[in-house]
Amino acid sequence: MYQRTIAPTATVPDVAVLLAERRIGAVLVIDHEEQMLGIVSERDIVRCLAANGARMLEMTAGQLMTRAVQVANPGTTVNEAMQLMTVGRFRHLPVIDHGTLIGLISIGDVVKARIMQQDTVVESLTAYVAGSA
């Protein structure tokens, strides 16, 4: 099972412990057949706490999760992922390949990849200018 997943029957405290232990911002909720059902993020927990108070501690990941999850595939570019996340105002994007969960990228991953792309462009331009002089 992917390291950032939890069962729909897990309690919200279970989700919070997993987020804290792994130092991550979201977990995917998957069923026993490893099919993604939704996602639970730190934001979901805060919103649920505001709406439900202490009752939230008795709720499950299945009750709390966001069900309409946008996904990427291995061919999704960094720019496409950034656009999806920016427009959708979310920070985690599951990656699905032929119906199988293969990963979860965060906005931090996207920013890091974008910076690496920009560094490559700068290095190429610098080499070009230095070679032309």
What is the residue range of 25's domain?
1-69
pTM here is 0.81
Same structural domain, 7 and 19: yes
E strand or H helix that includes residue 42: helix 42-52
Report pLDDT digits (tens) over 19-55: 999 999 999 999 998 899 999 999 999 999 999 999 9
Domain boundary among 43, 69, 95: 69
Dist CA 26 CA 95 (whole Å): 14
Would you say residue 132 has pLDDT above 70?
no
Same structural domain, 106 and 63: no
Report pLDDT digits (tens) over 65-117: 999 999 999 999 999 999 999 999 999 999 999 989 999 999 999 999 889 88
Q: What pLDDT was estimated at residue 92?
A: 95
Same structural domain, 61 and 74: no
Residue 1: pLDDT band by 50, 70, 90 thresholds? Answer: very low
Same structural domain, 65 and 81: no
Would you say residue 16 has pLDDT above 60?
yes
Q: How far does the chain reach from its first CA to its final CA, in angstroms? A: 55
**3-state SS string for 97-128:** ECCEEEEEEEHHHHHHHHHHHHHHHHHHHHHH
Q: Regarding predicted confidence, which is higher, 122 or 22?
A: 22
